[in-house]
């Protein structure tokens, strides 16, 4: 099923999307587009919607499994606007968003679906889940010049940190249970990354409700959605394992010739399991055993 405009998709109010959990994949290019879609279909999302320019090609088997919306992020399309408008037609639905070349890994994802995780999360009276964007990169840039390869993906096993999130509207006081997280390639190569794009935290999983709005910095106008956990104990967190930063650093003329490798002494091969991310402390199972 394909829609030629965002308005056409929203006006259709598809039952499979509004029932959820639903994933919205925003394509910046065609790099690993098919693998991104397959990963999230396998994760257990009831509906997967691809927002991409009409010229982007998909594998034949995916055309019947994915809803497609013609949407170009480089020709006026904005992810925050599309997500906010999708929220308005699906109150009560769990929604998720990411870019191509990004892969959701949640605790115990090998044996439990995203729907099962969100059902537990909702029982803990949480309407949003903090996710961390963990940078992936090719181990050998000679073999993968664009830094993207699923077979030889690496990640940083340390170098992550958090700072208090301050409220400029309230004399720069600390916000309750909110932190700004940093690390990965955006930290190690920060001279090539604008300050406002260095954070690695996103609220990628959330339950839609009337009046909820996503800002360009991936936060929401409901402050509780931006918190890392509830007040009484730690909650589940998940990771978005992403080639996006590595790909951008390789394409940026200011950095491509300065970076010979992304590997350093704290690099480790990524084994695509939640156990590895939990052992490194990058995702949190909370009370879900």
For every one of its 289 residues, what pLDDT tens digit does the chain have, with 9 covering 90 and above?
Answer: 999 999 999 999 999 999 999 999 999 999 999 999 999 999 999 999 999 999 999 999 999 999 999 999 999 999 999 999 999 999 999 999 999 999 999 999 999 999 999 999 999 999 999 999 999 999 999 999 999 999 999 999 999 999 999 999 899 999 999 999 999 999 999 999 999 999 999 999 999 999 999 999 999 999 999 999 999 889 999 999 999 999 999 999 889 889 999 999 999 999 999 999 999 999 999 888 7
Last residue of a domain, one of 81, 100, 119: 100
Strand, coil or helix: 171? coil
Using the structure block, give the residue that is written with the tokens 């940083």.
Answer: 156
**Residues 226 and 250 occupy one common structural domain:** yes
Whether 31 contacts 102, CB under 8 Å? no
Specify which residues 102 forms β-bridges with: 242
Bond before 21 cis per omega within 30 degrees: yes
Give 3-state DSSP helix, strand, coil % of the chain, rounded to 5.
25, 25, 45
**Residues 287 and 209 occupy one common structural domain:** yes
CB-CB neighbours of 138 under 10 Å: 25
| CA 143 to chain centroid | 26
Quote the number of domains for the chain: 2
Q: Tell me the C-alpha distance between 254 and 192, whole Å.
A: 7
Whether 108 contacts 285, CB under 8 Å? yes
Whether 141 contacts 251, CB under 8 Å? no
**Of the candidates 101, 109, 40, which has an alpha carbon nearest to the alpha carbon of residue 273?**
109
Last residue of a domain, one of 100, 124, 158: 100
**Residues 153 and 269 occupy one common structural domain:** yes
**Residues 264 and 200 occupy one common structural domain:** yes
**Residues 7 and 138 occupy one common structural domain:** no
Q: Tell me the C-alpha distance between 61 and 51, whole Å.
A: 18
**Residues 238 and 262 occupy one common structural domain:** yes
Whether 129 contacts 236, CB under 8 Å? yes
- What length does the chain have? 289
**Residues 178 and 215 occupy one common structural domain:** yes
**Residues 208 and 96 occupy one common structural domain:** no
Q: Tell me the C-alpha distance between 232 and 143, whole Å.
A: 48
**Residues 141 and 7 occupy one common structural domain:** no
Domain residues for 68?
A: 1-100
């Amino acid at each position: 099923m394909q829609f030629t405009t965002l308005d056409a998709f929203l006006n259709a109010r598809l039952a499979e999307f509004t029932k959820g959990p639903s994933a919205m994949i925003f394509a910046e290019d065609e790099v690993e587009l098919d693998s991104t879609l397959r990963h999230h279909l396998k994760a257990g999302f009831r509906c997967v919607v691809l927002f991409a320019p009409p010229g982007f090609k998909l594998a034949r088997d995916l055309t019947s499994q994915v809803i497609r919306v013609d949407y170009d992020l480089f020709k006026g399309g904005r992810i925050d606007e599309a997500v906010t408008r999708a929220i308005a037609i699906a109150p009560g639905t769990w929604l998720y968003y990411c870019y191509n070349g990004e892969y959701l890994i949640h605790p115990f994802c090998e044996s439990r679906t995203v729907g099962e995780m969100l059902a537990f999360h909702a029982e803990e009276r949480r309407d949003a889940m903090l996710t961390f964007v963990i940078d992936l990169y090719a181990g050998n840039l000679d073999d993968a010049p664009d830094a993207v390869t699923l077979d030889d993906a690496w990640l940083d096993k340390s170098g992550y940190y958090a700072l208090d999130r301050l409220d400029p509207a309230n004399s720069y006081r600390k916000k309750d249970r909110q932190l700004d997280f940093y690390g990965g390639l955006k930290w190690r190569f920060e001279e090539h990354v604008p300050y406002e794009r260095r954070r690695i935290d996103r609220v990628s999983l959330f339950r839609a409700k009337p009046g909820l709005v996503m800002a360009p910095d991936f936060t929401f106008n409901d402050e509780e959605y931006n918190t890392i956990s509830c007040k009484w104990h730690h909650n589940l967190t998940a990771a978005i394992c992403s080639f996006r930063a590595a790909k951008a650093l390789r394409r940026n003329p200011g950095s491509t010739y300065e970076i010979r490798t992304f590997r350093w002494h704290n690099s480790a091969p990524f084994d695509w399991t939640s156990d590895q991310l939990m052992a490194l402390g990058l995702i949190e199972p909370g009370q879900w055993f």
